[in-house]
Amino acid sequence: MGGAQDAQFAQFVDTELTRLLNLAFALTGDHHDAWDLTQETFARIGARWDRLKDSNPGGYAHTVLVRLNVDRIRRMRREALGVIVERPAPPVESVAEVDEFFLSVLATLSPSQRTAVVLRYLGDRDLQGIADEMGCSLGTAKSHLSRGTARIRERLAPAAGGEVT
């Protein structure tokens, strides 16, 4: 990759970094995990930049990040870590007060449900878009979105003093 491509990739990082970082934060609820996902996504895109630069690298990065996160959570489920690894502080900071209760509600969803609702309500994807990004069928995407949304409403309604609908 030459100087022009390096500059092009740097511009891409500058344009997409905040968007992808916030997507990762919505998916993980954690600065470290959000940064790890974001950095790994850019590393993969950057390594293939000469092939991706003329397509839709932003869309590709979005999908890569979503799938990396699903893999990450599955890996966490399977591997009971015997040691606690201290990680350096990520280059991320909060700029607004985070709704910790909402994050705790999102944390109760399955990885696929959380991904589907984040893509729907943060990414503004339709069902087909969700299915495409998650690599699943339309029916499966619909199921994840429906169950995830229902669970969020179920958990948030009592806190709001209302009925579950």
Partner 1 sequence: MTMSDDDLRARFAALNDSVTPLERAASQIDRAVVRRRRRPAVVGGTLAAAAAVTAVSVALLPGLNLPSLSSGTASVTGDTASYASSEPTMDGEVGFVPIEVAGRTVGEWASAADAVVVVSAHESTPDAAVTEVPWHRVDAPRVLDLDSVPLDDDGALALGTVAGLPSEVPLSPGADYLVAIRWDAVRCDGEASGWVTLGDGAVLAMSDGAVRAESSAEPGALTGVPADPDAEVEHAFAALSGAQVGDVLDTLDLERAADLCG
- The H-or-E segment that residue 128 falls in is helix 127-134
Q: What are phi and psi of 37, to 5 degrees?
A: -60, -45
Neighbours of 133 (CB within 10 A): 21
Per CB under 8 A, the list member of 8, 46, 127, 129 interacting with partner 1 is 46
14 binds partner 1 (CB under 8 A): yes
30, two tokens: 């954690």
Per CB under 8 A, the list member of 7, 56, 98, 146 interacting with partner 1 is 98
42 binds partner 1 (CB under 8 A): yes
Nearest-approach distance from CB 89 to partner 1, in angstroms: 9
160 binds partner 1 (CB under 8 A): yes
Q: State how far the alpha carbon of 87 is from the alpha carbons of 35, 37, 82, 100, 126, in Å.
A: 11, 14, 15, 22, 36
Nearer to partner 1, 46 or 129 (CB): 46
3-class DSSP assignment, residue 37: helix
Q: Site map for partner 1, 50-79, x if CB under 8 A?
A: -------------xx--xx-xx--xx--xx
Nearer to partner 1, 108 or 137 (CB): 137
Nearer to partner 1, 84 or 117 (CB): 117
Long-range pairs for 11-19: beta carbons < 8 A, 24 or more residues apart: 12/45, 12/49, 12/53, 12/57, 12/58, 13/42, 13/46, 15/58, 16/57, 16/58, 16/61, 17/42
Site residues (vs partner 1, CB under 8 A): 1, 9-10, 13-14, 17-18, 21-23, 25-26, 31, 34-35, 38-40, 42-44, 46-47, 63-64, 67-68, 70-71, 74-75, 78-79, 91-99, 102-103, 110-113, 117-118, 121-122, 134-137, 139-140, 143-144, 149, 152-153, 156-157, 160-163, 165
